[in-house]
Structure 1
C-alpha cells in the first residue's frame, strides 16, 4: 500500500472536501486498531472519495488502486471478514463509474485538447476556499464537468487492473465475499479489454448462480450476469419474487414477454420486491445508480437504463 501512496501526487487531486492529500492517511487507518481513526477512514472512503450516486472524483481512481491492495491485505479486518467484502463493493461502484464504453475516446480527446486549462482549473480549485470552489463548478467554462469526465476516464483506464484483483475472490470460501466479487466482476468486465474473456466469465457467474445458497446471493449474481449481457431467463420462473425480479431486470431481456410480465408484476408493488429478501436489503447493486433508480414502477418497466453509462454531469 505504501508504494501506491508514494507514486501519486495526492495534493494535486480533489475529492468531495477539496485536496485529497488526507486520503492515504485515512485509508491507512483501515489497517490499524484505532477504532476512531478506522471509522473516520471508512466514512472518508465512501462519502468523500466518491461522488453522489457512485460517480468519480479525480481522487477516485488512485483510491480504487489502494482499495484493491487493501482487499488482499491480511491486516484488513482480521476479526471482521465483511471488510474485504466492502472493498469489493467499492470496486463494483468504481466499475459503474468507469463504464464509458466508446465514450472514453471522446473524453480522452477533449481532455488532451484542454490539458493546460484543466490543470490550471484544478490548481485554482484546490487553492480556493469552500465557497470559491462551489462557484467554480458554475463558472460557465465547462472545465469542471470535463475534470469529472476525466476522473471517470482515469477509472476506466484502471479497470483492467481492478478486474484482475477482483477475479480470484469469486472462489472465496465465504459465500458473501464470492457474491460481492461477482458484483464487482459484473461492472468491471464491461470494459472493452474484457470482451474476449466475457463468455468465460459469464459461464463462471452462471455456475455461481446455480450454486448460490440464498436468494440474496443469487439475485446479486443474476444482476451481474445481466450487466454483462448474459442469459438470466432460467430464473424468470424462480419461486422467489426478488430472484425473478432481478432476472427480469437484465437489460438484454427488454422485449422478452416473460420478463415483461415479471416486471409488470413487480411494478404493481415495488415494495414487495425489497421485502422479499426479508431482513436483508435488496442486492447490493440497488444501493447505487443506475439500479437504485429501478425500484420505482417506471424504473421496473425500463430495465435498459441499468445498462447505460452514467454521465459525469455537474459536481455533486
Structure 2
C-alpha cells in the first residue's frame, strides 16, 4: 500500500506548469509564516497540482500524500485554522478525480500496454521547453492523454490510503473540519475497496447530518451521503431550498419524481441554489463538474 511520499516514484512527475520539483517547497510553505510564500503554496495546490475541473496531473497523487502529512502536522493552521479544512477539501478533489469505478481495469490494461512509449513521451515532455510541451499535446499519438490516464490511475490506487487517513477527521471538534472530512470521505469511499466500510460510514454521516447546525454543513454532508448511495429522502422536504437541492442530488435519486421536482424548482432561478447559502459558498463538492451536472433534473 502506498502510504508515504517516499513510496511514490517521483521520476516523470509534472503539473500544469511543467516538472513538479517545486511542489514539496510549496507544501512546506503552508507550514511557515512567510506572508507571501504561504498564499503561493495554497494557489499552487489548487491551480497547478490539479487539472481543470479537478482532474489529475502526474504529480497529483504525490501531492495528495504530502497533503496527508500536512494534516498530521500540529503546526498546520496555527495562523489560519481553515488550512486543515482546505487540505481535506483537496482530498475530496482527488477522490473525485480518482472515481474510476469499473473503468479502472480497462484503463490499467491500456496504460500498461503502452508503458514504454509513455515513459519515452514523458521524458521528452520533461526536457522540452514550454512551447514544445504545448505542441506535444497535439502530436497525434494520444500518448499525452494516456499519461494523464496513468495519473488518474495513480490517484485511484492511492484512494484507500487517503480514505483511511481522512476518516478520523470526521470526529473533529471543529464542526467545519468534520464537514470537509465528510466531503472527502464521500468521494474517497466510492472506491471499490471501501464497499464494506460504507454501511458504518453512512451511519456516521447520517448522525452528522442530524447534528449539523448550518445549511452549508448539512448540504455538504447530504451530498456525501448521496455519494455512498445513502438515503437522503427525509431532507427533500427541508425548509431550506439549498438543503433540499443537495438531498435531491443523491445518485440513487436520479429520475426520482420528488427529487426531480426539487431540482426543477431550483432550475427556475439559476442563482437560487447558490444564493440560498447566504454568505457561504455552496457546498464544496459543487466546485466539480460531476456534482454541478446533478443539479439539473432528469429530462
Using structure 2 for the length normalisation, give the TM-score.
Answer: 0.96
Q: 2:104 and 2:5 mapped to 1: Cα distance?
A: 26
Cα distance change, pair 5–168 in 1 and its aligned pair in 2 (3 A): closer
Q: Can you give the 5+ residue segments of structure 1 that lack an aligned partner in the other structure?
A: 304-316
Shift of 1:5: 5.0
Please name the residue that 1:63 is paired with. Answer: 63
Q: 2:67 and 2:182 mapped to 1: Cα distance?
A: 17
Please name the residue that 1:192 is paired with. Answer: 192
Contact 1:160 1:191 in 2 (8 A): yes
Superimposed CA distance per residue, residues 90-112 of structure 1 (whole angstroms, 9 cap, x where no aligned partner): 00000000000011111111111
Superimposed CA distance per residue, residues 94-137 of structure 1 (whole angstroms, 9 cap, x where no aligned partner): 00000000111111111111111000000000100111111111
Contact 2:220 2:284 in 1 (8 A): yes
Q: 1:11 and 1:119 mapped to 2: Cα distance?
A: 10
Q: 2:271 and 2:220 mapped to 1: Cα distance?
A: 18
Shift of 1:14: 0.8
Q: 1:249 and 1:237 mapped to 2: Cα distance?
A: 14
- Aligned counterparts, 1:212-291, within 5 A: 212-291=212-291
Root mean square deviation of aligned Cα: 1.5
Please name the residue that 1:138 is paired with. Answer: 138
Shift of 1:264: 1.3
Q: 2:6 and 2:106 mapped to 1: Cα distance?
A: 30
Please name the residue that 2:89 is paired with. Answer: 89
The structure 1 segments of at least 4 consecutive aligned residues displaced by more than 2 Å after TM superposition are 3-12
Cα distance change, pair 183–293 in 1 and its aligned pair in 2 (3 A): same
Q: Can you give the 5+ residue segments of structure 2 that lack an aligned partner in the other structure?
A: none
Using structure 1 for the length normalisation, give the TM-score.
Answer: 0.91
Q: 2:293 and 2:196 mapped to 1: Cα distance?
A: 30
